[in-house]
């Protein structure tokens, strides 16, 4: 799990260190980040994949790190009870150049930015979706403003860039058949998991799975599938068990 790897990495690195959590940063965006890191003179020490908490959502990840919720990190408000001991914390939704100004001389940082998660609903409008989000991601991750912020984090520190969860381009998923649609709509509405269900459906191969994690026992949509629902099924989602919802980038670099 990403959270456990972060805790292990944090405790095993004695020098300056920083964690940049990009909310809903997925494997799709990794090529831009890795190419830009090389072009801008960073050493990439590790580039791999870890696994989100279940459900693949923000609060379960925050709790796995010992934070009550994402917002607890704002303005160093997380206190000392979390699992990343000695960290200065921040959580914002502001421009990258403003983020850079927040980084002080403290040796250890955990910085959680709301991008791109806060933009998923903006790109969920009809006629938008993955293609428009992709263009925005490229603009951000190749910008001087973003990399100036990363440089501030990397000054005197080893940096890990990761995420709480990924997201699925569910608007491109195939539609379920009529019988499955009725079941999925009744069980999940327009979501990707259900905390009240007591058993999974009877389809083979399974279209949903009942799993228990440290965050509780929940029923999850299994794989790439969508269904007709009131208002239309969301174009971009997270919380289910498709690969890009639960696979999380882990990129460790230094300047």
Query: In 79-143, which ranges are continuous DSSP H helix?
Result: 96-102, 117-120, 130-141
Asked if residue 117 and residue 176 are part of one domain, the reply reads: no
Asked if residue 57 and residue 75 are part of one domain, the reply reads: yes
13-46 confidence digits (pLDDT tens): 999 999 999 999 999 999 999 999 999 999 999 9
CA 101 from chain centre, in angstroms, equals 24
Asked if residue 16 and residue 130 are part of one domain, the reply reads: yes
Asked if residue 107 and residue 79 are part of one domain, the reply reads: yes
Q: With CA atoms as reference, report the closest residue to 122 among 132, 112, 135, 109.
A: 132
37-75 confidence digits (pLDDT tens): 999 999 999 999 999 999 999 999 999 999 999 999 999
The DSSP annotation for 187-214 comes to HHTTSSEESS--S----SS-SEEEEEET
With cut-offs at 50, 70 and 90, classify the pLDDT of residue 126.
low
What is the rounded CA–CA span in Å between residue 53 and residue 149?
27
* Number of domains within the chain: 2
Which 8-state DSSP code applies to residue 72? Answer: G
**Domain-embedded: residue 181:** yes
Q: For residue 33, what are the contacts with CB-CB under 8 A and spacing of at least 6?
A: 141, 161, 249, 251
Token pair 């990190």 is found at 73
């Amino acid at each position: 799990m990403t959270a456990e790897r972060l805790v292990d990495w944090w405790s095993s690195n004695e020098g300056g260190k920083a964690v940049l959590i990009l909310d809903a940063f997925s494997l799709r965006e990794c090529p831009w980040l890795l190419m830009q890191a090389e072009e801008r003179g960073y050493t990439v020490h590790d580039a791999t994949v870890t696994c989100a908490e279940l459900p693949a959502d923000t609060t379960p990840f925050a709790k796995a790190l010992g934070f009550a919720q994402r917002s607890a990190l704002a303005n160093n408000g997380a206190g000392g009870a979390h699992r990343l001991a000695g960290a200065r914390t921040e959580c914002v939704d502001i421009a990258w150049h403003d983020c850079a100004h927040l980084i002080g001389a403290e040796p250890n940082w955990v910085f959680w930015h709301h991008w791109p998660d806060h933009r998923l609903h903006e790109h969920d409008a009809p006629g938008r979706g993955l293609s428009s989000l992709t263009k925005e991601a490229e603009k951000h991750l190749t910008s001087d403003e973003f990399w100036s912020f990363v440089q501030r984090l990397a000054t005197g520190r080893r940096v890990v860039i990761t995420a709480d969860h990924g997201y699925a381009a569910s608007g491109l998923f195939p539609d379920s058949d009529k019988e499955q649609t009725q079941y999925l709509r009744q069980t999940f509405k327009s979501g990707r998991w259900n905390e009240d269900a007591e058993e999974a459906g009877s389809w083979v191969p399974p279209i949903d799975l009942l799993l228990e994690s440290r965050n509780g026992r929940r029923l999850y949509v299994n794989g790439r599938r969508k269904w007709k629902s009131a208002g239309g099924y969301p174009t971009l989602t997270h919380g289910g068990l498709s690969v890009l919802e639960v696979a999380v980038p882990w990129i460790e670099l230094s300047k």
